[in-house]
Structure 1
Amino acid sequence: MIELDRVGKAYPTRQGVTHAVGEVSLAIGAGEFVSIVGPSGCGKSTLLNMIAGFLPPTAGEIRVDGQLVNGQVPPKLGYIFQKDTLLPWFSVRKNVALGLKFQGVAPDRIASRVAELLELGHLADFADAYPHQLSGGMRRRVALLMSLAVEPRILLLDEPFGALDTHTKTHLHRELIEIWRKLGQTIVMVTHDLDEAITLSDRVVVLSGPPSRVLLDERIAIPHPRDVFTLRETPQFTAHVQSLWSVLGQQFRAAA
C-alpha cells in the first residue's frame, strides 16, 4: 500500500544543506498498523508529511497504492495532526460531517454516516456539544471520526495522543484498535511513546538520529484482540520493549 524507496529530505540553510531524512526505505502492506519512533529531529513527522504529499522528497520515491506521490495528496487518505483541528463554532455532529459536506454527499447519507460514526466513537450522547464542552480525549475522538467520515483507506497519525494523560490515552488506544479492526485501514503513526507503539502496532520502525535511516523494523508478535489494560504485564510486551529500547536507547544517548 505504501512504498518508500531510498527517500531523503534536505533543507537549504545559511550554513549549507541540512539532511533531515537521510535514506529511508520502507514497505507497508494494506491493512497494516505501523508505528515510527526515533529521537527528536530525526524526521518522523517529515516522513509522514511526504507520504501525505504535503512535502516533496529531495531524493528517492514514494508510492501509495502503486501511484507515485508527486506533490499531491493521495486519494482516500486521512491525516490526524498533533493538535486537533475541530471548528469551535461547530457542534460535534457538524464537525464530523464537515468532510462529507465538502465531498458533496447527500444530506440524508451524511446524517446516517455521522450517526454510525458517533456510535462507533461512543460520542452519540455528545452529538450537539461544542468542542469547548469536551475533554481532551473526547476532542481527539472527534478528530479521529472527522478523518474516518470520508472513509480513508490510509490513515496517518502524527503523535495523536501525545498531550493526553495515561488514563485517557489508554482508553483511546482501546478505541483506536477497535475501530481499526472493524474498518481495516492502513495506519502509519508517529509517536515518542514506545509503549504506545507496541500496544497498537503490527510493526514498529526505529529511525536513527538525523540524517535518519531505518535501524530496526520489528514485527510485534502479540496476537489480537489485545487488552490494552493488561498488555504491559505480559512477557511478550516486555520482550519487545527490551528489543526496541536496545536500539532506540542508543540513539537517545547519542543525541544527548
Structure 2
Amino acid sequence: MRAIRNFLSVACFAALPAVAGAQDYQLEVEAGYVTDTESDIDAINVGGTFHWRQVSTAGSPLAEAAFLDRVGGVSVDYLRIDTDFGDFDAWSLEADHYFDSGLYLAARGTFPDEGDDTWGASVGFVATEGLLLVLDADDNGDDIDYTGRAKYVGKLAGDTAWGLDVAIADEVYGVGANYFFSAAFLIGADITLYDEADATTLGLEAKYFFTPRFWGSANYNTDVAGDADLSTWGIAAGLRF
C-alpha cells in the first residue's frame, strides 16, 4: 500500500499546471531507481539518448515527441542491480532510425559484467501517422526470441492525447495504455500475462514535465494473479538539451 500511496502522491502533484512553451531538443539524459519490496532488490540506471537531429515538440505530448516526429538516435544505458546474493552490472547500447519511406530499423547490444553479451535487432514500418509496427529479434544466449509490437499515439482535443502499446512474444502477452491530460502530464497502465509462469502483472506510471526540458516520473508494478511475487516501485527523472 505504501508504494501505491507514493504513486498517487506524485500523480496528484503532477495535476498542477506546467510551465508553458514547447522547446525542441536533441539530447536527453535520465536516471532512475527501482526497488522490489518483496525480494529486497534495488536497481539504478543512468542513460542518455542523442538524436540524429533536433526533435520538434510542437503540438505533441512531450513524452512522445521523438516518436511522433520520427527521429531516431543512439542510446547508452548503465544498469546496476543490488541483491542479497550479489551485484549485477551491465551496459547497453542501441541505435534506431526512421527512413522517409516509413521503414524503421534498430540494433542493440547488452554487455553484462558476468555472462555473455547479447544482441538484438528490429525492423518495422510506420503504417500511418502515429502508428508503428515492429518485429524484434533478440539473442537470449541459447536461442532467438521474437516479439511483435504495435505502438500508437493519437491526438485528441486541445493538448490531450492517448496511446496504446501491444506486444506478443512466446507465451508472453502485454498491453498498455496512456492518457495525456496535457502535453506535460500522462498516466499509464499496463498488463502482462506470462503463460509459462502462470502469472499476470499490473504496472502503473505517472510522468510529468515540470518544464519542457525537465521531467519526473513514478511507477508501481505488482502481480495480480499467479505466483510472480512482484511488488516494485520506482522513480526517474530526465533533462533535455
TM-score (norm 2): 0.29
- Point out the structure with the larger helix share: 1
Which is bigger in relative contact order (C-alpha 8 A, separation at least 6)? 1
- Point out the structure with the larger strand share: 2
